[in-house]
Structure 1
Amino acid sequence: MGSNGDTAWQELAAAKRGAILNSIPVKWRLDKIPTVDEQRNVTGAYIEQFLLPKEVEITKADAVGIVEKAASGAWSAVEIAEAFCHRASLSHQLVNCLHETFFDAALADAKELDDWFAEHGKPKGPLHGLPVSLKDQFHVKGVDTTMGYVGWIDTFQGQKGDPRSKTFESEMVRELRQLGAVLYCKTAVPHTLMCGETVNNIIEYTWNPKNRHLSCGGSSGGEGALIALGGSPGGFGTDIGGSIRIPSAFNGLFGLRPTSGRLPYEGMANSMDGQNSVLSVVGPLASSAGGVKLLTKAILSAEPWLHDPLVAEIPWRGDLEVKTKDLIASSKLSVGFLDHDGAVAPHPPLKRALGLLRDAVARSGNQVFDWQPPASSHPTINELVSKTWIYDGGADVRQDFARSGEPWAPQILDVWQERPQADAASIAATNRGLRACRKAYLDYWNGTAADVFVAPCAPFPAARPGRFDYIGYSSFVNGLDLPSVVVPVTTVEKGVDVVDASYQPVSELDKKIQSDYDPEIYDGAPVSLQIIGRRYQEEKLLAIAEWLEGELNKELLTS
């Protein structure tokens, strides 16, 4: 692309970047953004200095607390919406986490909810008055969906003049409105969506708000950063290789990667649409396990299987939730722990987190053991998953980059180099391989007493920019199509989580990733783990996550 083309995409990107900032009311704009050396962590007390006391009270509540206040009439939907619009505006200025704001529409919707409450004396639905943020794959009427592509600005998925850009909404958007949620912003993603960091040519780089030396993760990275900053109590992302779990883990949040077909994906934008060997799934992220459960349960109450042909008719099963709580209470829960996947070792803080969680389970009288699937299983699964991502030889994403002539970020360059497209025979072989892996893993599981098992989401607490070099701890879950919930465990302590000089790397990749760990740089970063269950057992996982949240909080109070 020549210089004129370069100038065209750069001007378009700069105009969009400016429009996002200009959509923030002047009264909410910050005079100065501190450098990372001046302020590493911009969450909590730092961002709250710019808010009114009532706004702090509202935005510090989790999703469950907000819905309770709205349902009782203690807080109006308008005052809740305005508080989160304000905090989201501050969040974006601090870490570049938003792609779209539609605050005026949100406040108008909130006013309608207040009018409903005044007339009927009850909430409109289970999410009445709850602000919900959305990853920029969801279509919202009158709002751009760029998915990080400059060539998608002012289009419908790259198509200029398509009337759907003004009117079309994704199925889950319709359901969220029906349930009483207030939609107010869409969050940043890496272009292509296939990256463990959030970077594109529109908003550039989204930083981890709890440690701005580090990445917020990807591809639902804007969601993770916004919720960590308190700019949203909960929202929805998607996951085809870890894109819900990685941002949840990096930002110290709870997040659910459900089994495919549990929650509705109908009508959303996507990369590689039509690749069905390993499906992208949609799921919630929130500041509490209860918030994730609330969002999941609410969507299922809308009967999404009536509107999305790929959703299984499985309503929320309260009996499974109760049985799980009884299992825990009777000390009959069995939890496996994966300490090393055979390819790359977790960094020292993650090893400590595995020990802390193992101790929490054992202390309750429940059972713990080492999770040791066949040595070749994870590498084989991950190799097959990576093949599905390049069935089309990168044609889909290259087409979208070509719309503007923009370059793609170096973090994803190697994945989308032009290569031959897969033929039917090779796709069938990959599908057979995945089926064989799933059967072998199931057989291993059936040979244990495990209800669930625990593993890192990545080998690092959060990636350093440009150094997300291993996705195997998250993508194997997608290959097996298992549900997974992220649970925050601790934070990096530089005086405790020191480099393990005795560790012997098992490969050059392992050696490289271990060398990236620097306790000084990582100090204060969240450290999280994922709990993985059998297919369609989301209720069980969320009950365990809520229990562990309580156990870890008790440990913090007594330590």
Structure 2
Amino acid sequence: MTAAATVRKSTTFATILPLAIFSAFFASYWFAFGDAWNMHPCDAHRLHWQTVVSEKRAELAAKIPQEWLLSQRVIDHARSRRSIAGDFLDSLLDSHTRDITTREPTEIVREIASGNLSSVEVVTAFCKRASYIHQISPAFLEIGFDLALSRAKELDEYFNTHGQTVGPLHGLPITLKDHFHIKGLETSFGYVGWIGTFEGTKGTGKEKNVESELIRQLVSVGAVPIAKTTLMVSTWAPENNNNILGYSWNPYNQELSTGGSSGGEALVQALRGSAVGFGTDSGGSVSMPSSYHGIYSVKPSPGRLSFKDAAGSGLGNLAITAVVGIMGPSIRTLRLVFKSLMETRPWEHDSSVLPIPWRSDQELSPDAILSFGFMESDGIVAPHPPIARALEIAYSAVKNKGHQLIAWKPPSHAANAMHGPLARGDGCPDVYSAFKSSDEPIVPQLSHLFPDGNLKKPISLPDYQKITQEMMSFRNQYREYWTSTSRITKHGRPVDAVILPVSPYAGFKPGKFDYSAYTSIVNILGYTSAVVQVTFGDKCVDVVQDDYKPLGERDKLNMDTYDADASDGVPAAIQILGRDLEEEKIFSIAQIVADAIEEYQAKQA
């Protein structure tokens, strides 16, 4: 193109562009607002989902106090870094905030109970840290700092008046995945169409006025909710994405996914944005993100923690039920929170919770000699090198303490194929309707649910019942296998727990997740599990061996996705599996394993 032609093109473009913009604006104004003149408000709302998102983001930003705002230079620098975990975020904080927010939560509640820290001090520190996190890596669909500080003042007044705490979590700041209703805050569940509504419906009188049972219980024992975390919209994918905040990135390597669907909560816990967090899990949604973020978690069996009055997908499904999981910096913290919730007697307010109080007699002594099943691979997909090494470390650490480990060869994880039909056999009409309510696009991670943008036909009732029978058969086979191990354990009882991978990955790139059976099987069984952190990826050590032979085509595809550079410095964890309703036992076993790993690594160092 000649210089003259270039000038002409530029001039013409400069002349036409304002007119085009005006015409487009006028047209959009006419179609949106002209038609809206005779349109139901909800229909007008549908035409402007981007506007709703912009307003919601601005609302969230306005909830951060002026004195906590980071400069754009700091934000840009943080987003350009490979990692924002560890020292980086700490370096942005004042020493007092840093000191409080990096303490073990069990210590924080002791310090509050002794009068050495006030609830306002603690809540302020965590709200400030959380605000920094959100500005760097958007993590909160709802921010309630003002509500939290108001509650903290009430707790301090109570303590000063009565000389005691309201409960064992007095003044402890918490965050929760945006399933749970908190009075004064919205619940969008990641849907644009739910903003300004109660679960997608306007004018119910319930907007910002409903409290989930779990929230009521937590507040009754002193916990202080400060915010609600972003999630995989609908929860039906192992990544974290929605049209309100966008995709969520792992703070240890910001080119990797947080995982999902509780990835936002894992992100916040990794960066210590609250003392403890709550996610939900129906196929690994708590366990997998926890494993990628260097935190600990417990996924209880159905029937221990309340899901009453919470938002969700497929809530009428009783075959694969979502459970509340707890996420935090230590097993001791998770145990404290779970035990505190049991003290509220949740079964008296939620018929789906079993009447099982905290059972101290189920906990094992730290000196107990245990028998473990040990699974390096399920024979279908082998873990990537960092996870394989984490398993080796755990094996050596546990063995060095005198515990027995036996090869774990249960019924095949191929049974995981039933998880999808059981969990989403209805075709997800609730998800489809929620997207359509605002005309927001279906995020790519959910496109498989709606081929060509349309609803799938639901599974017939006879077919669903058949799959449910297969699930029950698998559960019985697995139980029989577990019980049969009493013949080979030294103590003559079935193995106490199983050590196995959480996921094949130490983090993964967007769109590269392919295998969830290590956790989905746990949900099919209805068992209890915990995640214990072990080590970090090391690109110099964690390499695929030259003599590696794929277990099959799926395993080959899995190993082909391994990137040693991407996994370098990213957490690698293991899973501790117990049987159904063995939460107290698993807390103690997970602590035994965590202590053994810590001692082993100290000696190796």
TM-score, normalised by the number of residues in structure 1: 0.96
Tell me the equivalent position of 2:577.
532
3-state SS in 1 of match to 2:92: coil
Asked if 1:441 is matched to 2:475, the reply is: no
Tell me the equivalent position of 1:557.
602
3-state SS in 2 of match to 1:236: strand
Structure 2 CA distance, aligned partners of 1:38 and 1:182? 33
Tell me the equivalent position of 1:294.
336
In structure 2, list runs of 5 or more residues that go unmatched.
1-26, 33-44, 486-493
Tell me the equivalent position of 1:371.
408
Q: Which residue, 522, 531, 549 being the options, matches 2:567?
A: 522
Structure 2 CA distance, aligned partners of 1:431 and 1:163? 38
Structure 1 residues 170, 6: CA separation in 2 closer, same or farther (over 3 Å shift)?
Answer: closer
Structure 1 CA distance, aligned partners of 2:450 and 2:390? 35
The one-letter code matched in structure 1 to 2:601 is L
Deviation of 1:497 after TM superposition, in Å, equals 0.6
Q: Which residue, 536, 539, 545 being the options, matches 1:500?
A: 545
Asked if 1:483 is matched to 2:528, the reply is: yes
Aligned pairs for 1:84-483 (under 5 A) are 84-321=126-363, 324-325=364-365, 329-331=367-369, 333-374=370-411, 377-380=412-415, 382-417=416-451, 418-448=455-485, 449-483=494-528
Structure 1 residues 341, 34: CA separation in 2 closer, same or farther (over 3 Å shift)?
Answer: farther
Deviation of 1:247 after TM superposition, in Å, equals 1.4
Bigger mean CA offset, 112-121 vs 46-55? 46-55
TM-score, normalised by the number of residues in structure 2: 0.88
1:174-217 per-position Cα deviation (integer Å, ceiling 9, x unaligned): 11111011111000101111111111110001111122121112
Structure 1 CA distance, aligned partners of 2:252 and 2:407? 31
RMSD value, Cα = 1.6
Deviation of 1:136 after TM superposition, in Å, equals 0.2
1:232-254 per-position Cα deviation (integer Å, ceiling 9, x unaligned): 11011110011110111111111
Tell me the equivalent position of 1:26.
66
3-state SS in 2 of match to 1:384: helix
Deviation of 1:38 after TM superposition, in Å, equals 4.8
Deviation of 1:112 after TM superposition, in Å, equals 0.4
Structure 2 CA distance, aligned partners of 1:182 and 1:427? 41
Matched positions, count: 550
Structure 1 CA distance, aligned partners of 2:456 and 2:420? 14
3-state SS in 2 of match to 1:204: coil
Residues 47 and 438 in structure 2, CA contact (< 8 A), matched pair in contact too: no
Structure 2 CA distance, aligned partners of 1:399 and 1:340? 39
3-state SS in 1 of match to 2:57: helix
The one-letter code matched in structure 2 to 1:10 is Q
Q: Which has the larger radius of gyration?
A: 2
3-state SS in 2 of match to 1:13: helix
Residues 46 and 437 in structure 2, CA contact (< 8 A), matched pair in contact too: no
Asked if 1:58 is matched to 2:100, the reply is: yes
Tell me the equivalent position of 2:3.
none
Residues 64 and 290 in structure 1, CA contact (< 8 A), matched pair in contact too: yes
The one-letter code matched in structure 2 to 1:112 is E
In structure 1, list runs of 5 or more residues that go unmatched.
none
The one-letter code matched in structure 1 to 2:272 is G
Structure 1 CA distance, aligned partners of 2:383 and 2:569? 17
Residues 139 and 229 in structure 2, CA contact (< 8 A), matched pair in contact too: yes
Bigger mean CA offset, 19-28 vs 49-58? 19-28
Structure 1 CA distance, aligned partners of 2:325 and 2:300? 6
Deviation of 1:373 after TM superposition, in Å, equals 1.2
The one-letter code matched in structure 1 to 2:378 is D
The one-letter code matched in structure 2 to 1:378 is H
Structure 2 CA distance, aligned partners of 1:329 and 1:507? 41
Deviation of 1:95 after TM superposition, in Å, equals 1.9
Residues 36 and 213 in structure 1, CA contact (< 8 A), matched pair in contact too: no
Residues 109 and 182 in structure 1, CA contact (< 8 A), matched pair in contact too: yes
The one-letter code matched in structure 1 to 2:367 is A
Tell me the equivalent position of 1:11.
51
- Percent of paired sites with the same residue: 40
Asked if 1:541 is matched to 2:586, the reply is: yes
Structure 1 residues 152, 38: CA separation in 2 closer, same or farther (over 3 Å shift)?
Answer: closer
Structure 2 CA distance, aligned partners of 1:416 and 1:504? 36
Bigger mean CA offset, 506-515 vs 289-298? 506-515
Residues 317 and 539 in structure 1, CA contact (< 8 A), matched pair in contact too: yes
1:129-175 per-position Cα deviation (integer Å, ceiling 9, x unaligned): 10011110000012110011011101100011121113110001011
Structure 1 CA distance, aligned partners of 2:209 and 2:143? 17
Structure 1 residues 241, 330: CA separation in 2 closer, same or farther (over 3 Å shift)?
Answer: closer
